[in-house]
Amino acid sequence: NNGTVGEYDITVTGAAIQGNYKVSYTGNKYTITRATMTVSSDGYSKVYDGEEHSAVIDCTVTDGTVFTYSVDGGETFKTEVPTIQNVGSQNVIVKASNANYEDATAEYTLKVDYKAVTVTAKEKSKVYGEADPEFDAEVKGTLGSDTVAYEVSCENNGTVGEYDITVTGAAI
Phi-psi region of 121 (alpha: psi -120 to 50; beta: other; left: phi over 0): beta
pLDDT for residue 2 is more than 90: no
Q: State the pLDDT at residue 57.
A: 97
- Each residue of 47-69: pLDDT tens digit? 999 999 999 999 999 899 999 99
Tally of CB atoms within 10 A around 100: 17
Q: Which of 123, 134, 171 is nearest to 149 (CA)?
A: 171
| pLDDT band at residue 155 under the 50/70/90 scheme | confident
Residue range 167-172: mean pLDDT, rounded: 78
pTM comes to 0.76
Residues 6+ apart with CB under 8 A from 84: 44, 52, 53, 54, 90, 110, 111, 112
How much is the pLDDT for 171? 66
Surface-to-core class of residue 135, CB atoms within 10 Å of its CB (0-12 exposed, 13-18 middle, 19+ buried): middle
pLDDT in tens, 85-134: 999 999 999 999 999 999 999 999 999 999 999 999 999 999 998 888 99
> Do 56 and 27 form a contact (C-beta atoms < 8 A)?
no
Instruction: List pLDDT tens digits, range 130-148.
Output: 888 999 999 999 999 999 9
